Amino acid sequence: MKKILVLLVVILSACALQTKHRGYVLPEDLESKIATIKTTEQLQEKIGDPQTRTIYGDEVWVYYSADENMRGPLKKTYDNKTVLLVWVRGNNVVKTRVLHDEDLQDVKLAKGETAIPAAIELNAIEELVANIGRFSPAGLGQ
């Protein structure tokens, strides 16, 4: 009976919900906090440095936050996703936008592979023969 009880405890503990926070820990009242921000210094002071900045077009700073839920062998799920987009011109904050779960679309990955232009595709035998003579014997220090 004790062995069964221990086994049940182990099995049930594997199914326990564990939540990890990913990205920034954004404040609950995010909209009201960013409404008062006018400069990039204020933004970095209240929120921090952005995770990424755009390199083409308008300069946009991106902040991302999500909760990763893990429950035993089941697939990971993400909720409470929040994206803060901040349009910046020089040292001034021009526009802000907050996106939540319902505003974000689920991205579906396409099946297959993207062809690489001018790629050389070799089979296993060609790969093996192509590597002959590329490596020096061990211990020669080359």
pTM, entire model? 0.59
> Which of these, 73, 63, 71, 85, lies nearest to 20 by C-alpha position?
71
**Structure-token pair, residue 93:** 């904050």
Please report, to the nearest 10 degrees, the dihedral formed by the alpha carbons of residues 90, 94, 97, 98 taken in order: 60
Using DSSP, state whether 22 is helix, strand or coil.
Answer: strand
Tens of pLDDT along 63-100? 988 888 877 667 777 777 888 888 988 888 888 888 88
Could you tell me if 89 and 97 are in contact, meaning their C-beta atoms sit under 8 angstroms apart?
no
